Amino acid sequence: MVDRLLELVCAEAVLHQAAGGASWVRAVKDRGVGAALGAFHRAPGEGWTVARLARHAGLSPSRFAARFRQLLAESPMSYVATWRLASAARLLRDTDARVEEVGRSVGYDSLPAFSRAFRRQWGVPPSAARGGAGR
Q: How confident is the model at residue 74 (pLDDT cuts 50, 70, 90)?
A: very high
Q: Comparing 48 with 17, which gets the higher pLDDT?
A: 48
What is the rounded radius of gyration, in angstroms, for the C-alpha atoms of the chain?
15
Reported as a pLDDT band with limits 50, 70 and 90, residue 22 is: low
C-beta of residue 5 within 8 angstroms of C-beta of residue 122:
yes
> What is the model's pLDDT at position 29?
85
Mean pLDDT for 1-6 is 52
Q: How many alpha carbons fall within 13 Å on the CB side of residue 114?
A: 24
Q: What is the chain's mean pLDDT, rounded?
A: 85
What predicted TM-score, i.e. pTM, was given to this entire model? Answer: 0.77
- Please calculate the CA angle 110-115-118 and round it to the nearest 5 degrees: 125
What span, in angstroms and rounded, lies between the C-alpha atoms of 32 and 28?
Answer: 9
Are 82 and 121 in contact, with CB atoms under 8 Å apart?
yes
| C-alpha triplet 77, 81, 86: angle, nearest 5° | 145
Rounded Cα distance between 13 and 8, Å, is 9
The 8-class DSSP code of residue 58 comes to T
Residue type, 63: R
How confident is the model over 36-58, as pLDDT tens digits? Answer: 999 999 999 999 999 999 999 99
